[in-house]
Amino acid sequence: MRQSIVMGNWKMNGSRSEGIELANAIIAGLNDGDKGIAVCVPSVYLSDIEAVVKNTPLALGGQNVADHESGAYTGEISAFMLKECGCTYALVGHSERRTYYGDTNESVAARFCQAQKEGIIPVLCIGETLEERESDTTFAVIDEQLNAVIHMAGIDALANSVIAYEPVWAIGTGKTASDEQAQEVHKYIRQQIAAKSQAIADNVQIVYGGSVKPGNAKAIFAMPDIDGGLIGGASLDATSFLAIYKAI
């Protein structure tokens, strides 16, 4: 049985005090033995949130990680720095990074590798745009995004990662992929991995992202190849985020 996981992605929202309050409110709704819940917070607040989540079931993640180990890369945050701030996870290749900041399949693969070098679990975000879906290239896009990582990191590296399928057209739009649409792509991703390693395919967590809310979470998470969610908007409210977590 794969352990499910629900991850919040706060993106560029809130203040320090709001973040601390939100993390505290999430923790207040968890029990000691809970697992499979994390928040990816703005990097400047990582240390503040680390202090709150320490010794609680709530894990911490960065929203991005540099594609180099260290050096003259102004504005970037290294995997080592994330590790020092208590991160277990780092998002790599979120569609907002790919769309607005020029992250390419190759740089995403390099970020994936840098995270793993420091023992951080990369959460590899992949997914097609509306145009790509409408032109029937969803699977081709998924192949390219996934294969770039497999090519650079090797198939075995996927054993220590999470994959997030996030159709770009469903992110922050209120449009969710139907349960069947999401399942179809999750199954496809797992099959592509299985072609290279059945064991890794059986164990890798593939989570869905894109307008997951308390009202639709249960049906989405019930799909056989969906192992949880990456939650944007609804993760900014503790009650909603906890309700989604409890839907697992």
CB 192 within 8 A of CB 143: yes
Residue placing its CB nearer to ligand PGA in the complex, 52 or 229: 229
Footprint (CB under 6 A) of ligand PGA, residues 7-26: 9
Task: Please report whether residue 215 would count as binding ligand PGA according to CB under 6 A.
Answer: no
CA 29 – CA 224 distance, rounded (Å): 27
Residue placing its CB nearer to ligand PGA in the complex, 19 or 209: 209
Task: Please report whether residue 210 would count as binding ligand PGA according to CB under 6 A.
Answer: yes
Taking the complex as a whole, the smallest distance from the CB of residue 55 to ligand PGA amounts, in Å, to 27
Taking CB under 6 A as the criterion, the residue among 103, 128, 166, 227 binding ligand PGA is 166
Task: Please report whether residue 171 would count as binding ligand PGA according to CB under 6 A.
Answer: yes
Taking the complex as a whole, the smallest distance from the CB of residue 112 to ligand PGA amounts, in Å, to 17
Cα torsion for 45, 47, 48, 49, to the nearest 10°? 80
Neighbours of 22 (CB within 10 A): 23
Taking CB under 6 A as the criterion, the residue among 6, 232, 238, 247 binding ligand PGA is 232
Cα 19 off chain centre by: 19
Task: Please report whether residue 127 would count as binding ligand PGA according to CB under 6 A.
Answer: no
Task: Please report whether residue 172 would count as binding ligand PGA according to CB under 6 A.
Answer: yes
Cα torsion for 27, 89, 40, 125, to the nearest 10°? -130
Residue placing its CB nearer to ligand PGA in the complex, 12 or 72: 12
- Please work out, in degrees rounded to the nearest 5, the angle formed at the alpha carbon of residue 215 by the alpha carbons of 95 and 23: 65
Amino acid at position 241, single letter:
F
CB 167 within 8 A of CB 213: no
Task: Please report whether residue 41 would count as binding ligand PGA according to CB under 6 A.
Answer: no
Catalytic residues: 94, 166
CB 67 within 8 A of CB 37: no
Which residue is associated with the tokens 């009650």? 239
Residue placing its CB nearer to ligand PGA in the complex, 151 or 175: 175
Task: Please report whether residue 225 would count as binding ligand PGA according to CB under 6 A.
Answer: no
Residues that bind ligand PGA (CB under 6 A): 9, 166, 171-172, 209-212, 230-234
